[in-house]
Amino acid sequence: MSPPLDSTRFEQLRASGDLPSPKGVALAVIRLTRQQDVTIAELARVISADPAFVGRVIKAANGLVAFERRPVASVHEALMVLGLPAVRTMVLGFSLLSHYRRGACRAFDYNRFWSSSLASALAAQVLAERTRAGAADELFAVGLLAHVGELALATLYPAEYDLVLESTRKPGAAPLLELEGAQFAINHCELTSAMLEDWGLPKVFLDAVAQVDAPATVPAPEGSRARRLLHTLAAASRVAEICVAEESARPRLAAALFAESSLGVERECLVTDCQRIAGLWVEWCSMLQLDPPAPPNFANLAESGPISIAAGNPGPVAQAGSKEQIPAKQPNHPEPDGPAVEEAPANSPRALIVDDEPRTRGSLRAVLEQAHYEVHEAGNGREGMERALELQPQIMILDWNMPELNGPDLVRALRQTRIGQTIYMILLTHSDDDEHLVEAFEAGADDFIAKPLRPRILAARLRAGQRVVRLQQEVEREHEEIRHFASQLAVTNRRLHEAALTDALTGFPNRRYAIDRIQQEWSAAQRWGRPLSCMIIDLDNFKQINDTRGHDVGDEVLRSAADALRSALRGQDVICRTGGDEFLAICPETDLARALVCAERLRNALDSLSLQVGDAKVVISASIGVAMRESWMQDVDALIKQADLGAYLAKQKGRNCVATVQKTGDSRNEPVAAE
C-alpha cells in the first residue's frame, strides 16, 4: 500500500502556476466569502461585474426554489437562496469551466468532461432532496468539482496525460489510477481531494469525493450522514455516466443504477428524479454552450428490464478517469465544445473584431485578411467577451462605444481572465485627447486607433502588435520549458519520497511510514470513539534460516511471506515491515475479536507456504500477537507493546500461533493467552 499524498507534492504542483484555479471575479468572490463580516450586498456587487456568472447563479437558485414561489430574478435573491458556502464553490466551478473549456491534451475530451461534471452536479442536487445527505446547493457545487483532478492532470501534463489515456484503451491495460500514479506520482483522486481542500471545502465533502468510486468498501456507519452523502455522490456519478454514454452503453449502466438499493429511494422515484435531471442537464448545457449527446430517456431505460452487466460490449462511459474509458477523440474530427469554429491554419494568427457597425467590421476585415490573419467578428461587447474566451485570439480590435458592454469595460473584464491577459487589444475611438487615451490605457488596452480608419496606419500598428505577441509567445515557450522541468523534478521528488517510506525487498511501507500511519489511526479512533487493533507478525526461526541457508534464501522467504500476507489482508488494513523478520499490521475499525480472526487468516496463509531450496523445503510460519486500543492506554506505544507481548506469548506457546494478552470487553486485565 503506497503512502498517502503528502502536502509537499501538492505544493509543488501549485507552485508550477498551471494548476487550474479561479480567476477574476471568481477569485474575488472566494476571497470575499472568507471574510466573516461580508454582506450579501457586497457579494452581489462583485458577482454582478461578470454577466456570465450572474445568469448561472440565478439559474442555480431557481433550481432550488419551491414551485409556489416566484422565480429568483436578481443576484441578491439568488445569494439569499443559495448561501455563501454554496455560492463560493459554485462560482469556482463556473470559473474553471470558462477558463479550461479546452486544452492541449488531445485524448482528454474537455467537452465531455464538463458535460459529465454538469450532469453529476445536477444529479447530486436533485438526489440530495431525497436522501437529505446535505444541502442541495452545496452538493451541486461538489458534484461539479468531483473530478477536477482529471482536468488538472490534463492541464499540467498535456502530452504525458495523453499517453496515459491512450494506454488505458489497450487490451489488458492497468487501471487509470495506477497508470497515473506511475507516471506522475499522484493520481486524479488524490489531486482532486488536495485541490478541494485548498479551496476550503468541508472535510465531509473531501472524504466523500475521495471514496466515491468505491462506496461499498467504505466503513462508514449504516445510516450516517457520511454514508448517505457518499452514496448520493456515487449515484450522481452513475447518472452522469449514463447521460454522456453512447446509446448502446446506456441500458447496461441504467440497470446498475436502478439495481442499487443503498440510496434508500424507491425505483419509481429514482426514475422520476433522473428524468428531471436529464431535462435540467439539457438546459444547462445550452446555457454554458456545451455540446452533449442526446439526453437519455430514463423511463424507457427503466422499463427495458434488468440487463446482465457482464453481457455485451459495454461501450464507452463518461469520464477520462472512469474504469471503462471513452474512445480517444479522433484528431481529424474534434468534437465541438461551443459554437462551431473553423480550424485556423497553424501559421495564421487569429484576430477578433468587436464592433456594432458592419461597415467598420468590413474595413477592418479587409486589412486583417491582407495581413494573413484568420478573422472573426462580434457585433456587441457581450458577444465579444464570449467569442474571445472561446477563440483565444492573439489580437482584438474593439470599438469604444458598443451596446451591452462598451470597449473599456470589455477590456477590463478580459484582463481579469487568464486568456485575456495575453491578448493584444486595440481600442477604436473617435477622440484622441489625452484624457480619453489615459482612460483607454488604464482599462488595459495595448494601443488605440482614432476613427476614421486609415488602412496604412492600422497595418503598421498591427505589425507592432504582432511583434509584441511573438515576444510573449517566446517568453511563454521559455516558461513552459521551465514548468516542464519543474514538473519532472516534482515527480522525481515524489518518487524519492515514496522510496523513503517503502521497504525495497517486500514492497510494503517501512517502519517510518508505519509509525506515522498508526499515529493517524490512533488519533481518528480516539476522536470518533472507534475500535483500533494492531498485530505484530514475527516469522519463526528466521535467524536460523539466514544462518544455515544464506541471506539470499532469507530474502526469498521474506518476499514469499510478504506476498502471502498481502493476499490474505483485508482492504481496510495496512501492513508494514518494521524490522528484519517483523511486520506490523494496522487494523482500523476492528475490535479484538475480529482482529484475532484476521490474524488467524494471516497465520494460515503463511503456514501453507513452503520454499524449495535444492533438495530441501523451507517451512514458513509466524507467531502473531494481537492487541486492541483500550481506554487506559495513553499512547500508540502502549498499544504496540501489548501486541508485542502477544507475539512473545505465541512463541512461548510453541510458535506458529496467534495470541493476545487482552480479553474482549475488559478495560484492563492480566495477560491471558487467546489462540
Query: For residues 113 and 120, is the Cβ–Cβ distance under 8 A?
Result: no
pLDDT tens column, 172-213: 888 888 888 888 888 888 888 888 887 777 777 888 887 776
Query: For residues 111 and 329, is the Cβ–Cβ distance under 8 A?
Result: no
Q: How far apart are the C-alpha atoms of 177 and 192, rounded to whole Å?
A: 12
Confidence (pLDDT) at 338: 41
Confidence (pLDDT) at 65: 46
511-660 belongs to which homologous superfamily?
Reverse transcriptase/Diguanylate cyclase domain (3.30.70.270)
Confidence of residue 13 (pLDDT cuts 50, 70, 90): low
Confidence (pLDDT) at 2: 39
Q: Pinpoint the alpha helices (H) of 146-224.
A: 148-156, 158-168, 176-184, 188-198, 203-211
Return the percentage of the chain with pLDDT > 90, whole number. Answer: 17
For residue 636, give the nearest of 513, 511, 517, 530 by alpha carbon.
517
pLDDT tens column, 388-415: 887 888 899 988 888 888 888 888 888 8
Confidence (pLDDT) at 33: 63
Whole-structure pTM over 0.95, yes or no? no
Q: How far apart are the C-alpha atoms of 527 and 381, rounded to whole Å?
A: 55
pLDDT tens column, 641-657: 999 999 999 999 999 99
The stretch 331-349 carries a mean pLDDT of 45
pLDDT tens column, 515-545: 988 998 898 888 888 899 999 999 998 888 8
Confidence (pLDDT) at 66: 42
Confidence (pLDDT) at 175: 87
Written out in words, the top-level CATH class of the domain with range 103-327 is mainly alpha
> Number of C-alpha atoms within 13 angstroms, CB side, residue 208?
27
What's the maximum distance between 2 C-alpha atoms anywhere in the chain? 102
Q: How far apart are the C-alpha atoms of 144 and 123, rounded to whole Å?
A: 10
Q: How far apart are the C-alpha atoms of 244 and 626, rounded to whole Å?
A: 49
Q: How far apart are the C-alpha atoms of 3 and 509, rounded to whole Å?
A: 7
Give the phi and the psi of residue 488 in degrees, each rounded to 5.
-65, -40
Confidence (pLDDT) at 31: 66
pLDDT tens column, 455-497: 888 888 888 888 888 887 777 777 767 766 666 676 777 677 7
The stretch 438-457 carries a mean pLDDT of 84
Taking the domains of the chain in order of start, what are their residue ranges? 16-99, 103-327, 350-473, 511-660
For residue 612, give the nearest of 565, 566, 560, 564 by alpha carbon.
560
Report helix, strand or coil for 503. Answer: coil
Q: What is the 3-class SS of 400-466, one letter each residue?
A: CCCCCCCHHHHHHHHHCCCCHHHCEEEEEECCCCHHHHHHHHHHCCCEEEECCCCHHHHHHHHHHHH
- The chain-wide mean pLDDT, for the chain, equals 78
- Whether residue 306 is predicted with pLDDT greater than 60 in this model: the reply is no
- What CATH number has the domain spanning 350-473? 3.40.50.2300
Residues in CB range of 524: below 8 A, 6 or more apart = 530, 532, 588
